[in-house]
Amino acid sequence: MKNIYIIAATLVLTLFLESNAYSGDIEEGKKLAFDRKKGNCLACHMIDDGELAGNNGPPLIAMKARFPDREVLFNQIWDPTETNPNSFMPPFGKHGAITKTEINKIIEYLYTL
Ligand code: HEC
């Protein structure tokens, strides 16, 4: 009988830790997107509550609706010139400015927009 309590407590703790890790990714993704030495997405995109937003690129809004396919969004950040050779958005991933893990965190954040 005691075991039931232990299992329940472990489950609750696991759920708590997992949901925390998840929101941590979103926070980190936002930092990476706003960081001038990292994504610097604000230089060209209007995003949520970011100040000094540029408008060379389209505003990053309704991301989940517009990019239901995560891979398409990933590729846009990894190397926009792949789909648009004339894009002047920098190929962040290809140039090694941000890593795959970092792009995935940025995507977690973008999907909250
Ligand atoms: C130097 C300017 C510049 C920077 C910096 C930049 N972008 Fe872009 N971005 C653009 C332009 C211009 C477009 C329009 C499409 C194209 O040229 O590829 C675009 C398009 C996009 C799109 C497609 C949007 C749509 O509505 O079709 C996404 C998503 C995107 N950028 C995300 C990002 C993210 C995330 C960052 C930061 C990691 C970033 N961009 C940084 C210029 C920029």
Q: Which of 51, 50, 38, 59 is nearest to 105 (CA)?
A: 38
- CB of 88 closer than 6 A to ligand 1? yes
2-110: which CATH architecture?
Answer: Orthogonal Bundle (1.10)
**Domain boundaries defined on the chain:** 2-110
Q: Which atom of ligand 1 is nearest to the CA of 59?
A: 26
73 close to ligand 1 (CB < 6 Angstrom): yes
pTM of the entire structure?
0.83
Provide mean pLDDT across the span 9-14: 62
Joined tokens for residue 33: 């997107």
Give tens-digit pLDDT for 77-111. Answer: 999 999 999 999 999 999 999 999 999 999 999 99
The atom number, within ligand 1, closest to the CA of 56 reads 12
Whether the CA torsion 93, 98, 101, 103 is positive or negative: it is: negative
